[in-house]
């Protein structure tokens, strides 16, 4: 195990960039937004807190789903959405406990998961993440699928403690295991497993009910995403409560359905690449049409999913 400490943690990954996101939001994603937010006045945010047992909670608002472990040792928070939402998130936590947030765990680097780092770090929280989260937040990033350039975060936005493979926390009567999964949604993803409560937070390696975003420019891949979901299935049982990065609280059956969909997507898109179609020709052929009727109603619609997976699988093939 390799743990690193870096300066003082805190601050927001600026996400005020305009991007075109085709398609509407499905009900399961009603309070979710892409990792790069529109700057124009968003509607008021309504927060929901769902108790999971054992002092665990899922908090939803706008952005990635938040996991909370609340107990006598304080609060452990998984992801913290966008910067402007930090006061609202803190107010929701204050309804559960008078204790402060001691640790924030970032499941990856996207702005809808790390935006509140600054506020909570200024209030004393220590931010943890994979090595690549700190590395990517430290430099300008490009997300071609959204035609967006994300500037480097301020030094105070960066995780204070980073890890290569994993690390465990022992707070609130829970063994909290943080485990890196490779080349899935990004190259810095982490699962967070609360052993005693039987709760698993998967970050954006699981979009419950929709096509996922696979950030190819950030080292993500469909093969890694599939491998990570297969790994997750070895960590859960029929009673496990799974917090996805986006979408409602999930079960093992929901995860199995997502994996089956992704394997179909991979097979269909591999065929398109093997036939040497261009990405535009592949989009016009609608290889994911049937799957999109069920899975393409979130912010990753049929066209975006086709474009993302084509880009991933065609690297080095159609050049």
Question: Tens of pLDDT along 249-305?
Answer: 999 999 999 999 999 999 999 999 998 789 999 999 999 999 999 999 998 999 999
| pLDDT tens digits along 58-83 | 999 999 999 999 999 999 999 999 99
Residue range 125-159, pLDDT digits in tens: 999 999 999 999 999 999 988 899 999 988 888 99
- pLDDT attached to residue 316: 64
Q: What is the total residue count of the chain?
A: 319
- Judged against a pLDDT cut of 80, whether residue 37 lies above it is answered with no
Overall average pLDDT of the 20-46 stretch: 47
Q: Which residues contact 225 (CB under 8 A, 6 or more apart)?
A: 184, 185, 205, 212, 214, 262
Domains of the chain, earliest start first: 3-258 (3.60.15.10)
Element (H, E) at 70: strand 66-71
User: Could you tell me the two tokens for 172?
Assistant: 């609130």
Contacts for 260 with CB less than 8 Å, ≥ 6 apart: none
In this predicted structure, the answer to whether residue 123 has a pLDDT above a threshold of 90 is yes
Which pLDDT score is estimated for 315? 87
- pLDDT at site 173: 97
What is the predicted pLDDT for the residue at 216?
96
Question: What Cα–Cα distance (Å) separates residue 158 from each residue in 71, 132, 223, 267?
Answer: 26, 11, 28, 38
Position 277 scores a pLDDT of 80
Q: Average pLDDT, whole number, for the chain?
A: 88
Report, as an integer, the average pLDDT of 183-197. 98
Between 102 and 8, residue with greater pLDDT: 102
Closest CA to 114 of 9, 199, 248, 20: 9
For residues 293 and 114, give the distance between their C-alpha atoms in angstroms, rounded to a whole number. 31
**Chain centre to alpha carbon of residue 56:** 18
Q: Say what the pLDDT of residue 205 is.
A: 98
Mean pLDDT over 27-33 rounds to: 39
Q: What is the pLDDT of residues 206-243, one digit of tens each?
A: 999 999 999 999 999 999 999 999 999 999 999 999 99
Give the per-residue pLDDT at 162. Answer: 98
pTM, whole model, 2 decimals? Answer: 0.88
User: What are the residues whose beta carbons fall under 8 Å from the beta carbon of 245, sequence distance 6 or more?
Assistant: 64, 65, 107, 113, 185, 202, 203, 204, 205, 206, 207
Q: Is the predicted pLDDT of residue 33 greater than 60, yes or no?
A: no
């Amino acid at each position: 195990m390799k743990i690193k400490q870096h300066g003082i943690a805190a601050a927001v990954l600026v996400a005020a960039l305009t991007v075109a996101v085709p398609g509407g939001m499905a009900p399961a994603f009603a309070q979710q937004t892409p990792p790069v937010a529109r700057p124009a006045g968003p509607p008021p945010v309504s927060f929901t807190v769902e108790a999971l047992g054992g002092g665990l909670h899922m908090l939803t608002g706008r952005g990635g789903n938040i996991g909370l472990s609340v107990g006598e040792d304080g609060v452990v928070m998984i992801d913290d959405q966008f910067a402007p939402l930090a006061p609202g998130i803190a107010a929701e936590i204050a309804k559960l406990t008078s204790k402060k947030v001691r640790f924030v765990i970032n499941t990856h680097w996207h702005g809808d998961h790390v935006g509140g780092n600054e506020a909570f770090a200024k209030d004393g929280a220590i931010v943890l993440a994979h090595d690549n989260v700190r590395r990517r937040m430290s430099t300008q990033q490009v997300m071609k699928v959204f035609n967006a350039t994300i500037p480097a975060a301020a030094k105070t936005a960066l995780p204070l403690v980073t890890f290569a493979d994993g690390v465990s926390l022992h707070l609130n009567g829970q063994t909290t295991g943080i485990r890196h999964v490779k080349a899935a949604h990004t190259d810095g993803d982490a699962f967070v497993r609360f052993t005693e409560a039987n709760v698993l937070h998967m970050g954006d390696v699981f979009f419950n009910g929709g096509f996922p975003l696979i950030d190819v420019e950030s080292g993500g891949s469909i093969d890694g995403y599939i491998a990570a979901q297969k790994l997750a299935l070895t960590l859960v049982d029929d009673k496990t409560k799974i917090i996805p990065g986006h979408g409602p609280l999930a079960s093992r059956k929901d995860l199995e359905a997502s994996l089956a969909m992704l394997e179909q997507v991979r097979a269909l898109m591999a065929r398109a690449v093997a036939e040497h179609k261009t990405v535009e020709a592949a989009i016009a052929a609608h290889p994911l049409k049937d799957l999109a009727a069920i899975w393409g109603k979130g912010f990753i619609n049929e066209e975006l999913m086709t474009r993302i997976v084509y880009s991933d699988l065609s690297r080095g093939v159609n050049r």
